Amino acid sequence: MYKKSLLLIGVFLVAVVTTYAQSADEKAIRYLMHQQIATWNSGNIDAFMETYWKSDSLLFVGSKGPTYGWENTLNNYKKNYPDTAAMGKLRFDILSIKPLSPEYIFVLGKWHLTRTIGNVGGTFTLLFKKIEGKWLIVADHSS
């Protein structure tokens, strides 16, 4: 009986710690995405890109196919959104945040730009990886 009680307590503690870790990670991801909205809406693409992995292995998939590398992704954003009129005001609707492992989280959502030159929007999937204690986007598929 004593061993069963200890086992039950152990399982409960693991569940509590796991739930806390996942909710803390989810809060961190939501915070990063909120930061992306704020920096985008202030017209600062460089700050917006701080949530992306600064690596040649970063993958961004958009309407023109895959782009590899942080610098290439930054350049594409600047080319496609040259001013605040093109950038508009960004909104995200996060549909789900799914932890895949302690170091990977998958995010599904919708994006919308409200612009004077015409509104646009679509769907995105993001793969976040915890690198040196910080969550960063390592793959982004936006359409």
Total domains, the chain: 1
Mean pLDDT taken over the chain:
89
pLDDT value at position 8? 40
Amino acid in position 26: E
pLDDT digits (tens, 9 = 90+) for 77-114: 999 999 999 999 999 999 999 999 999 999 999 999 99
Question: How confident is the model at residue 3, as a pLDDT?
Answer: 52
SS3 content of the chain, % helix, strand, coil (to 5): 45, 40, 20
Tell me the C-alpha distance between 85 and 32, whole Å.
24
Residue 15 lies in domain: 2-142
Least confident of 6-20, 46-60, 118-132: 6-20
Whether residue 5 has pLDDT greater than 50: no
Specify the CATH number for the domain of residue 125: 3.10.450.50
